[in-house]
Structure 1
């Protein structure tokens, strides 16, 4: 838990060193106007000679009555005004020289007979304008009758409403001005106390003071605070140079100087310099002792902090300060809090007595962290607190006699927030992580995990960072699994090293003790969704137009249904050397893709494969269209070993020329539809491909498979991945794209893609290996593909796609999705997906195999229910197997300072495996999770952001914005 109190000490240092620096950094030059107002300019004389002290004589007092004739100070007791009011600013002009006019000297008390202003030469001149209002006798305000107040039906005092940009605040006074005096509390004010079980930490008057501090910033710190995960505005502090160059304006009811050393201001003291603002009833600055004392409703604000205190005592020479009954607001966090006493012992060390803080906006005290003593050491980046306790909804929920925490980005060893949940497979599942800060570039997270059905597990995650490398080593160990009756473990190592700007390496090694490790031991919020666990290691080098990469790939099965023969090949190693260059003065580009791979398998045939693919293209491109002819020579050589078939050759080679011609045009037209301007485009495209037919049935399949079919696959040179199969082709693709773009909003409400391949010959190359009866496709056309998509508004969009099989006169694929999304993570997605089994017919005779057909619906949402409550969930249903493969439902409440989640999940583990879904004994599992996140402090329970980011379409977790 991070108390974030360091932000206060950081801002206090700025306050103590610069809020009143204008008081001693220049000489004084004063002039009194006819109205009795003094205007002083402390500016070092141009000559550099030390200025001479001058005696300032005040104007004679107005005629007095007999009772008022005796000399007496006319200083007016300042009024206590808790809410800052606008003060007139002095005119930004240089004062004229003081005229040498004799003036009568009024009778003054003996201690004030000699009032001097002593000019002091300083190294750097700075302006200080002081506007002094002559003391006036307060006028008695008439007191309205109680009957008038009662008849009005309103509470006496000030009532303010926000006006427009020109008029500002709209305030009305009912009855006599309370002037900060105590008054009866209205029923509205008691609502704050009524919503808490215990007495609220911050009183109603303190909440009003927080509102005042909140208004000191040019932007509300809690604006859009419910979107806590969004990227926060960085507040840049005004530089000291800018403050030194700015003019300091001081307005007060009374000002005096004693012996040129002590400056006193009294009555509505208002100091402004650059971003700094200080308000107080009284302020005194001693230029010799370098101390400042401010008393009575002291308010100080700047870019990164706002403070309110009863008194403030600052020692500028010793970098010491003391504030009593202080309230503070840190806008960047945002945070607010209070402390009975704030001590600043040095630039780096500060102490707080009876401190409390929260990230909740003023008026909301849902959670508050308390501590009787807090220490902040900015030099070491550490803080500590005694008798710290957490209050939620007025109820104490957590206590610790002592806690230490980091005050900045530097890490500190200690306990992290625990997580917990319950699953049907593991029972109650709880984890307690401990963070160990080994060194500035090394750390470790040790997690103890308890599963009520399986036992205890230990996890370790070690991170390192060096000048050239960064990486993570993770390991898990379960000494004895009570269900599986065995020891289980896993390990992982990720590393990235940059040796030189051109040379780097990546490493991703993974291992588990058994095939069902992830299905059994992974948290139900994020189990393994693949059938193979990959491990890779690569060395990369790039310079100019050359790219070199060498590495290995290894796979481990994490699905118990996978046999040894079904395992993918290990590649030990794979070497790529690619070259690509575009000539600037000629419309020509050349490329060379070269690869060497060694395939290793325990059961199947092994091989070394060499592939060379030089290519040349003549691209001609403009805004109106393009024409790109391309010629590629594909040569592949195999050296086979450990042959599994009799008579299989040990060496196989293949060479194929590949020619393609890609061309397209773009037409645009402006039109007006329903009173709105649009741009309509037509983009026809033609793609011709020729590859001669060659028998490849004697080449084993190592890393090749069918590529997915969509609109953009119509323009590929090969419908297979890898190099083990190169399709035979004599075909042309006809396609067109049309768009409607709103010229006003930039939205694309309609986009249509249509395309189809026309075959001039049958296709004979497929994925069969060493078979005499090679399947051939005799259709003259490919599936007709149509896609329709668009943006209905900023929040609504849709996408649909269909593939029509003209050979069998039926739909081969289809999908449709309607999406709603707002930046506040309000989401709705309605989807349907259909894909017929691509291998469900042989020799033009259909063979029904429904288990290979995908036919499913998918609905997900996160929508507001009422108030701050949201509902979220997903339901994925397989029509093929008549089963719910994935579902969860939950509620979530989120406001400015906390978020609460409850999620229940029902799912089929390894639902991507057809064998599992088709097994009648497969039963769905259930899980239940609770999470409470106190924003800016910590999170309790199981983190579900990563799960929602994967399983809730369009959801973005907090780190996505940071």
Structure 2
């Protein structure tokens, strides 16, 4: 029968199992068997040892002999357990005085999920220090593996492999080499610092050297580390081939920086930089892109972006958002380096504010300076009006305690009615940026406005009623006389509204499923008298989009300068079908329409609205099963009998990495567009396990194509293909962007991702992720990092 021995690694043994070898007394038949556990923990509450005591060291084998307090030798399926350490071998000896274990013959070491195998091992057990000859290894932290001529354990978190290799690819039968592998004269693993350093390293892909380096470092998990990142390679028809090599500097846990020298074949050399920090009272990001001498443009090109938030003391906070570029064509030539979503309208915005709360409510004081850079270009037909700048904006808001909740649609169920309200007093100085087109009226001016409202919300368990009065008053001092010949002018507009709604519920069944159905009718009455406003400027007012949210607002304009006159009633209803058990919404249907009791004279185009009934708004959304999502919105004009605007979308996703979405968008007399986006397997199959691979791999297609039915041409589109070989992924893509009425820019992307290591090439992953609804990274379940290494 197998024998076992349990020795205390500290001053004394915690337990002794029955007899161990020919030299020891024989075991009794009723001997206690060793429990099959990886770790021997402390005993139960009654006989618990102090937590500082080391765990027991346990040896077992077919034959075990021991010299008390000196040495134990185990032979035949020998096994040593010590905390998280499990050591197996054909022959194993342990010297208690030196804490040294020696193992030969089929040696296997398991610790914290990592596994090492080889013919011979010497190991100081307690401090996990020793040497392994000709081992192979697997690291659970990374999913990577390799082999070495000699492996030195420095401690549990540090080890060095001499003549070692590393890869996340498994060894395939019949294959002479792995798909990719790092081989090095010396391979140092620092799991505490999340860093692997290969000295005298070569990265091979199917045996072909693709990246030799005297020193190569790589992350061992998803955390940050300093070092050179893989090269970034891209091509577009304006700049040619671009090659950049980023260096990432992990300065401190709260600070890092990235520098990327790059070369463009058509434009020249430059550098991109990013600095990020997260301090207790300040956080931000700085970006600077510099192209000192653009050979095509014959000038220096640059882009600057800053994002900053922080505290100034005494509860004052500040916020900075600023971006500026060197010239008007930057957004066409170097779009990758512009952060703003509106690439031709760049903002510089600095704000400070302070909030203070009392029992009755909140006070909010603020100041702001907002400037714009408009990238206009030379074509007069593509120029656009610039928004006004605020130089400065200073204001104070007072809100009652529950006012924000009321404004957000809070239903005060079970509460007694009470007066709630808010007051806003604000000063603005408006002017236009120097980059505004000459055709735009350049008159600026100053404005002081007062916004105030009071409401008395009331309601019950299934209804609400909110009467509300508002006042919008503004006084102007203009740089030039207005249409009435006056520089100083103003107006005040009162509004009364009554918002009333109900929520009804019932249990029902749909498609054999138990659901809760709601019916939510809502009425909004608004009465705003007409006040002439044609002589006033439009510094910050614009017409709101006509949709399910804006139709339930009293003013059809955003901003301060315009207040729509109204005597109207908005009536609508929404019905939802909700899964009673899981709470998710299965189906939603809604409709809403507005009735005008008199003509509306304040309109976006200054043409009075005489029709009594507005366009009818319809919406629907369905998630009838896990594979299908449908939603749509329709604006229907009953006078013409046709839709004015429509958005219809459908998405089908039957499985992982399988999604197709279709969208149709219509804006009558403006645009009509269809869009198809997808990620779908073409053929082949790749293993999804950690470090998995397949001889053939799998091909996927991914992309988004937009087609203008009005212009009969393709607009912004992305098309890509992905090959998943399990431990590496290849992405090839093309992106087409419109840069003018008859101008486009095409960019080609090629990226190879070595799973568990990094991506090589341009960041095709980010382009696919940003453009394709439902897109999933193929390697998301196998890589230590969940995001792209470098964006």
Q: What TM-score does the superposition give when structure 1 sets the normalisation length?
A: 0.69
Matched, 1:578 2:397: yes
Per the alignment, residue 301 of structure 1 pairs with 110
SS at match of 2:770: helix
Per the alignment, residue 640 of structure 2 pairs with 808
C-alpha distance after superposition, 1:661-697 (max 9, x if no partner) = 2121122222234533222221111111111111111
Per the alignment, residue 86 of structure 2 pairs with 277
Per the alignment, residue 90 of structure 1 pairs with 33
Shift of residue 435, structure 1, vs aligned partner? 3.8
Matched, 1:325 2:134: yes
Per the alignment, residue 122 of structure 2 pairs with 313
> 2:217·2:228 contact (CA, 8 Å) conserved in 1?
no
Unaligned ranges ≥5, structure 1: 1-18, 33-37, 41-54, 61-87, 94-123, 129-239, 769-773, 838-852, 910-915
C-alpha distance after superposition, 1:838-871 (max 9, x if no partner) = xxxxxxxxxxxxxxx1111111111111122110
SS at match of 1:792: strand
Question: In the alignment, which of 530, 537, 551 is matched to residue 714 of structure 1?
Answer: 551
SS at match of 1:499: strand
Shift of residue 344, structure 1, vs aligned partner? 2.9
Matches within 5 A, 1:171-190: none
> 1:326·1:340 contact (CA, 8 Å) conserved in 2?
yes
Distance 1:940 1:503, change over 3 A: same
Per the alignment, residue 739 of structure 1 pairs with 576
> 1:522·1:528 contact (CA, 8 Å) conserved in 2?
no
Matched, 1:702 2:688: no
> 1:739·1:750 contact (CA, 8 Å) conserved in 2?
yes
> 1:581·1:590 contact (CA, 8 Å) conserved in 2?
yes
Question: In the alignment, which of 472, 490, 514 is matched to residue 677 of structure 1?
Answer: 514
C-alpha distance after superposition, 1:180-207 (max 9, x if no partner) = xxxxxxxxxxxxxxxxxxxxxxxxxxxx
| More divergent stretch after superposition (265-274 vs 945-954) | 265-274
Distance 1:264 1:23, change over 3 A: farther
Unaligned ranges ≥5, structure 2: 403-411, 435-440, 685-697
Distance (Å, rounded) in 2 between the aligned partners of 1:317 and 1:272: 11
Per the alignment, residue 597 of structure 2 pairs with 760
SS at match of 1:566: coil
Per the alignment, residue 401 of structure 1 pairs with 214
Per the alignment, residue 599 of structure 1 pairs with 430
Distance 1:833 1:378, change over 3 A: closer
SS at match of 1:950: helix
Per the alignment, residue 689 of structure 1 pairs with 526
Matches within 5 A, 1:89-108: 90=33
Matched, 1:370 2:338: no
Distance 1:609 1:739, change over 3 A: same
Distance (Å, rounded) in 1 between the aligned partners of 2:208 and 2:593: 67
> 1:725·1:767 contact (CA, 8 Å) conserved in 2?
no
Distance (Å, rounded) in 1 between the aligned partners of 2:338 and 2:231: 16
Shift of residue 298, structure 1, vs aligned partner? 2.5
Per the alignment, residue 346 of structure 2 pairs with 533
Higher Cα Rg, which structure? 1
| More divergent stretch after superposition (929-938 vs 274-283) | 274-283
Distance (Å, rounded) in 2 between the aligned partners of 1:923 and 1:92: 74
SS at match of 2:533: coil
Question: In the alignment, which of 714, 717, 721 is matched to residue 887 of structure 1?
Answer: 717
Shift of residue 127, structure 1, vs aligned partner? 7.8
Matches within 5 A, 1:349-748: 350-361=159-170, 363=172, 365-376=178-189, 384-404=197-217, 414-436=227-249, 443-500=256-313, 502-523=315-336, 529-544=342-357, 545-560=362-377, 561=379, 566-582=385-401, 587-588=417-418, 589-601=420-432, 604-640=442-478, 642-643=479-480, 645=482, 648-743=485-580, 746-748=583-585
> 1:747·1:791 contact (CA, 8 Å) conserved in 2?
no
Distance 1:313 1:689, change over 3 A: same
C-alpha distance after superposition, 1:250-300 (max 9, x if no partner) = 432112221432122222223456654332222222121221222322323
Question: In the alignment, which of 810, 826, 834 is matched to residue 666 of structure 2?
Answer: 834
> 2:472·2:560 contact (CA, 8 Å) conserved in 1?
no
| More divergent stretch after superposition (856-865 vs 354-363) | 354-363
Distance 1:468 1:652, change over 3 A: same
Q: Give the number of aligned pairs.
A: 726
> 1:249·1:272 contact (CA, 8 Å) conserved in 2?
yes
Kindly indicate whether structure 1 or structure 2 has the higher relative contact order, using CA contacts under 8 Å at least 6 residues apart. Answer: 1
Shift of residue 726, structure 1, vs aligned partner? 0.8
Matched, 1:290 2:99: yes
RMSD: 3.6
Distance (Å, rounded) in 2 between the aligned partners of 1:882 and 1:546: 54
> 1:884·1:907 contact (CA, 8 Å) conserved in 2?
no
Distance (Å, rounded) in 2 between the aligned partners of 1:859 and 1:502: 49
Per the alignment, residue 861 of structure 1 pairs with 678
Distance (Å, rounded) in 1 between the aligned partners of 2:529 and 2:635: 27
Shift of residue 831, structure 1, vs aligned partner? 0.9
Distance (Å, rounded) in 2 between the aligned partners of 1:607 and 1:905: 44
Distance (Å, rounded) in 2 between the aligned partners of 1:246 and 1:580: 62
Per the alignment, residue 941 of structure 1 pairs with 761
SS at match of 2:549: helix
> 2:142·2:221 contact (CA, 8 Å) conserved in 1?
no
Distance (Å, rounded) in 1 between the aligned partners of 2:636 and 2:27: 99
Shift of residue 654, structure 1, vs aligned partner? 1.9
Distance (Å, rounded) in 2 between the aligned partners of 1:938 and 1:645: 62
Shift of residue 417, structure 1, vs aligned partner? 1.5
Shift of residue 815, structure 1, vs aligned partner? 1.7
Distance (Å, rounded) in 1 between the aligned partners of 2:186 and 2:221: 19
Question: In the alignment, which of 785, 799, 813 is matched to residue 631 of structure 2?
Answer: 799
C-alpha distance after superposition, 1:352-396 (max 9, x if no partner) = 112112123564932111112123567887654322111222333
Distance (Å, rounded) in 2 between the aligned partners of 1:743 and 1:940: 48
Per the alignment, residue 774 of structure 2 pairs with 954
Distance 1:590 1:248, change over 3 A: farther
Distance 1:685 1:253, change over 3 A: same
Distance (Å, rounded) in 2 between the aligned partners of 1:92 and 1:411: 40
Distance (Å, rounded) in 2 between the aligned partners of 1:923 and 1:241: 76
Shift of residue 930, structure 1, vs aligned partner? 0.8
Distance (Å, rounded) in 1 between the aligned partners of 2:576 and 2:260: 54
SS at match of 2:260: strand
Distance (Å, rounded) in 2 between the aligned partners of 1:463 and 1:521: 22
Distance 1:354 1:652, change over 3 A: same
SS at match of 2:601: coil
Per the alignment, residue 789 of structure 1 pairs with 621
> 2:716·2:737 contact (CA, 8 Å) conserved in 1?
yes
> 2:587·2:621 contact (CA, 8 Å) conserved in 1?
yes
Distance (Å, rounded) in 2 between the aligned partners of 1:443 and 1:675: 55
Distance 1:536 1:31, change over 3 A: closer
Per the alignment, residue 732 of structure 2 pairs with 902
Matched, 1:26 2:12: yes
Distance (Å, rounded) in 2 between the aligned partners of 1:536 and 1:620: 40
> 1:815·1:831 contact (CA, 8 Å) conserved in 2?
yes
Per the alignment, residue 848 of structure 1 pairs with none
| More divergent stretch after superposition (344-353 vs 874-883) | 344-353
> 1:26·1:127 contact (CA, 8 Å) conserved in 2?
no
Per the alignment, residue 231 of structure 1 pairs with none
Distance (Å, rounded) in 2 between the aligned partners of 1:859 and 1:59: 75
Distance 1:245 1:681, change over 3 A: farther
Distance 1:514 1:822, change over 3 A: farther
Distance 1:527 1:453, change over 3 A: farther
